[in-house]
Amino acid sequence: MITHGIHFVASSVDEGTEALRSLKERYGQCSLEEARIIVALGGDGFMLQTLHQVIDRKLPVYGMKIGKVGFLMNRFVEKDLDQRLQEARRVELHPLKMEVATEAGTTVSAIAINEVSLLRQTNQAAHIRVLVNGTVRVEELVCDGVLVATAAGSTAYNSSVRGPILPLGTDAMALTPISPFRPRRWSGAILPGNSSVRFEIKDHHKRPVSATADAFEVRKILSVDVRYDTESRIELLFDPDHSLEERILNEQFL
């Protein structure tokens, strides 16, 4: 039975704490070490946090929405959870890998499920050189920032700064400027999934820039390299009538 392989986790809001208690009483709680499925209770932010924490365990994660934003979550219903998990559709995703060189001389690596974003740290615009597969594509991007998004993350921050929404399963990444000033007409690019993107910060002492992989931030950076991490895999579970593919498609008609 699936019930004996479930490990429940929940956000710290009151609704999440109560839902966690109730589901544990109803279905039991398997230890994380022995779990076969993780059920996450919360919103998209908590789901991303959970995925980062368990990515090395390679366990499927089924989310139920408790919170304001639940793009990655299923409806919260307590009953028939065994059946829902058995019938759920599996979606496999690969995250982005970010490698950052800092002013302090360190190198920092992190994984991003939604996006890697660079943002100016002060009131002065960032000046960033953009390279794709070792070729300079934008010599000097004057902007508030720039990001690289996965297909799953293309409906998040990427979409809010007018980046393209990528259908799930697309072997591509979105490269999107944030409030660009020069080049004025450059709106970004859709890149093949095997691309490598490099950002080099120009005049970094005067115009400092930070880099974030989802919620993980590195400040005062010199350069950032981004590519898909094909060795890492994330498996999400969705109810058949509430698929991630359909949600991403619907976002393009809002």
Positions marked catalytic: 44
**CA–CA dist 3, 185 (Å, integer):** 54
**CA–CA dist 3, 191 (Å, integer):** 42
Give the tokens for residue 148.
């690289």
**CA–CA dist 183, 189 (Å, integer):** 13
Cβ(156)–Cβ(102) below 8 Å: no
